[in-house]
Chains A and B, each alone.
Chain A
Amino acid sequence: MGFLEWLQNSRVGLWISESDWGYPIVLNGHAVGMAIVVGVVLMFCVRVLGYNKSLPATVFEKLLVVAWLGFALNAATGVLLFLGKAQQFIVNPAFLIKIGLIVCGGVSVWLLTRMFDQNPAWAQENDMPSRAKIVAAFVIVFWLGAIVAGRLIGYTLGPPPPPSIT
Chain B
Amino acid sequence: MNARVLAQEKKLYLVGMLELACEKLDITDAEREMARSRYEAVGEWLSDGQNTYLANSSIYTQGSIRLRTTVRPIGRNEFDVDLICFLPGAANLGPHQVRDLVGNRLKENSTYKGMLEPHNRAWRLVYANEFHMDITPAIADPKHANGAVLVPDRELQDWKESHPKGYASWFEGITKREPGLLLEKRAIKADVEPMPSEIQFMGSLRRIVQIMKRHRDVWCSKLPAAQRDDAPISIILTTLAARAYEGCVHTRYDNALDLLLDVVDAMPRFIEQRTVYPAGLEDWIQNPMNAKENFADKWKAHPQRKVAFGQWHRQFRTDLDRLAQQQGLDAIATGLGGMLDESISKSVLAETTRRLNSNREYGRVVTGAGGLIGTALAQPASAVPKNTFYGE
Determine if chain A interacts with chain B: no
Binding site for B on A (CB under 8 A): none
